[in-house]
């Protein structure tokens, strides 16, 4: 299967031209020719079957054969707000695996103990696109710009019907597991802190904003592992 991400493809189109980069990949690398069939995803639920009408290395033309809307549409919405790791490779790893498993939204949050204060989303979005194609997902997770935790808490305060949880390492708090607190088919938001964890003040602010303290198990997990653990728990809950 040859799968291409085509964000600007619309359902009503009968013909579509691949970008120069994708055209080169199709013709020079994959050696595709006129009549060969390919699949396309638009990132908003559209799955297309197409065939090559003109195999040009700079402007390959496709003829759309079939369109499927809402392809494998998830019946829940998972938003993970995670502090970006000092080593950006680790957050890239999380984004790749979370996209494959199933996640709808990610927000990098900057907290008091964050070692990384800036995040370049352009490269991270390329990781997401690659993982989306690898796992045959038609929906592209939304990667928001990095934001301070206080501003983030204020921003989501007005959101309704949102199940909110914060995973932290403070030992004196009563915590339950995500699958004990949440039900299937809901909207979820999970906060994951930096390598040095959230500060006590940040934890208190989150709890005041109706975030439920949750446990991710007995082991002390790396930031990216904790975020993926939460993603997996929610995915299993919604099977």
pLDDT for position 173 = 66
Rounded distance between C-alpha atoms, residue 179 and residue 216, angstroms: 10
User: Per-residue pLDDT tens for 48-57?
Assistant: 999 999 999 9
Burial of 14 (0-12, 13-18, 19+ CB in 10 A): exposed
Torsion, CA 146, CA 151, CA 152, CA 154, rounded to 10: -160
User: Per-residue pLDDT tens for 223-232?
Assistant: 999 999 999 9
User: Per-residue pLDDT tens for 22-32?
Assistant: 999 999 999 99
User: Per-residue pLDDT tens for 133-169?
Assistant: 999 999 999 999 999 999 999 999 888 889 999 999 8
pLDDT for position 174 = 78
Report the pLDDT averaged over residues 77-92: 96
pLDDT for position 170 = 82
Whether 179 has a pLDDT exceeding 90, the answer reads no
pLDDT for position 113 = 92
Which residues touch 21 (CB under 8 Å, ≥6 apart)? none
pLDDT for position 176 = 85
Report the pLDDT averaged over residues 38-49: 97
For all residues of the chain together, what is the average pLDDT?
A: 94
pLDDT for position 220 = 85
Whether 115 has a pLDDT exceeding 90, the answer reads no
Cβ atoms of 188 and 78 closer than 8 Å: yes
Burial of 219 (0-12, 13-18, 19+ CB in 10 A): exposed
Bridge partners, 66 (sequence order): 49
Per-residue pLDDT band at 172 (split at 50, 70, 90): low
Per-residue pLDDT band at 171 (split at 50, 70, 90): confident
* Percent with pLDDT over 90 in the chain: 87
Parallel, antiparallel or unpaired: strands 77-82 and 105-110: parallel
Of 162, 106, 131, the residue nearest 43 (C-alpha): 131
pTM of the entire predicted model: 0.93
Report the pLDDT averaged over residues 63-83: 97
* Percent with pLDDT over 70 in the chain: 99
């Amino acid at each position: 299967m040859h799968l291409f991400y085509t964000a600007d493809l619309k359902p009503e189109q009968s013909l579509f031209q691949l970008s120069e980069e994708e055209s080169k990949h199709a013709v020079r690398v994959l050696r595709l020719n006129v009549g060969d069939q390919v699949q396309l995803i638009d990132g908003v639920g559209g799955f297309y079957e197409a065939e090559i009408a003109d195999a040009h290395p700079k402007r390959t033309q496709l003829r759309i054969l079939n369109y499927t809307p809402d392809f494998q549409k998830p019946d829940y919405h998972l938003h993970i707000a995670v502090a970006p790791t000092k080593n950006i490779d680790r957050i890239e790893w999380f984004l790749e695996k979370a996209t494959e498993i199933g996640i709808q939204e990610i927000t990098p949050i900057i907290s008091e103990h964050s070692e990384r204060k800036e995040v370049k989303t352009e490269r991270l979005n390329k990781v997401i696109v690659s993982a989306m194609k690898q796992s045959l997902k038609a929906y592209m997770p939304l990667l928001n710009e990095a934001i301070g935790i206080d501003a983030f808490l204020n921003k989501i305060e007005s959101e309704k019907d949102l199940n909110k949880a914060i995973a932290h390492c403070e030992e004196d708090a009563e915590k339950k597991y995500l699958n004990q607190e949440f039900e299937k088919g809901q909207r979820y938001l999970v906060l994951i802190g930096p390598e040095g964890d959230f500060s006590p003040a940040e934890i208190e602010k989150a709890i005041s904003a109706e975030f439920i303290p949750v446990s991710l198990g007995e082991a002390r997990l790396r930031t990216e592992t904790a975020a993926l653990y939460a993603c997996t728990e929610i995915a299993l809950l919604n099977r």
